[in-house]
């Protein structure tokens, strides 16, 4: 099932010059990047992205962190893209994340955990809408697509 999801590279990974290595993992897996944007989020965009966490005790720390520098939003399409990107990201708490995953290889902190990945198809649509207009997502064929899906 072809799905579209959001992977956001967080401010810690941008500062640590990990953008290229994270994008490489998405491409190597065979998923297709259909949107890419660097942005410094506004407070209200952070509240939208993390609406389900607004009442949690860690939210002020999370919000300050996400506002601390630019992020990269990546719209990604492919077979089971939502689940596949979640697996590539690894579990939320970086020190516990499996080696081989993005968080497992690059992270040591629960808040500064390198990336955010949408957790289901409908949620991905909601989160992508925060970063991209519909006409900013590019539909195209990759020449090797039939060898991958």
Active site residues: 116
Tokens of 147: 């060898």
Full DSSP string of 126-144: HHHHHH--GGGS-----TT
Q: Which residue is nearest to ligand CMP (CB)?
A: 116
Q: Which helix (H) or strand (E) holds 8?
A: strand 2-9
39-75 b/e (C-beta count within 10 Å ≥ 16 → b): eebeeebbeebbeeeeeeeeeeebbebbeeeebbbbb
If binding is defined by CB under 6 A, does position 110 make contact with ligand CMP?
yes
If binding is defined by CB under 6 A, does position 111 make contact with ligand CMP?
yes
Selected range binding ligand CMP among 16-24, 77-85, 106-114, 135-143, rule: CB under 6 A: 106-114
Selected range binding ligand CMP among 20-28, 99-107, 110-118, 125-133, rule: CB under 6 A: 110-118
If binding is defined by CB under 6 A, does position 92 make contact with ligand CMP?
yes
Side-chain-side CA neighbours of residue 125 (13 Å)? 3
User: Measured from the CB of residue 53, what is the shortest distance to ligand CMP in angstroms?
Assistant: 6
109 Cβ contact partners less than 8 Å away, ≥ 6 residues apart: 12, 94, 95
Site for ligand CMP in 21-40 (CB under 6 A): none
Site for ligand CMP in 52-91 (CB under 6 A): 53, 58, 62
Q: Which residues bind ligand CMP (CB under 6 A)?
A: 53, 58, 62, 92, 110-111, 113, 116
């Amino acid at each position: 099932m072809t799905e579209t999801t959001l992977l956001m590279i967080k401010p810690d990974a941008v500062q640590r010059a990990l953008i290229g290595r994270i994008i490489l993992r998405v491409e190597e897996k065979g998923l297709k990047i259909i949107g890419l944007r660097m942005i410094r989020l506004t407070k209200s965009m952070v509240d939208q992205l993390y609406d389900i966490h607004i009442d949690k005790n860690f939210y002020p720390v999370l919000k300050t962190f996400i506002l601390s520098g630019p992020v990269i939003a990546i719209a990604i399409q492919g077979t089971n893209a939502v689940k596949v990107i979640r697996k590539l990201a690894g579990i939320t708490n970086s020190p516990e994340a499996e080696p081989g995953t993005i968080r497992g290889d690059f992270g040591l902190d629960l808040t500064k955990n390198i990336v955010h990945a949408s957790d289901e198809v409908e949620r991905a649509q909601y989160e992508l809408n925060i970063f991209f207009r519909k006409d900013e997502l590019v539909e195209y064929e990759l020449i090797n697509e039939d060898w991958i899906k």
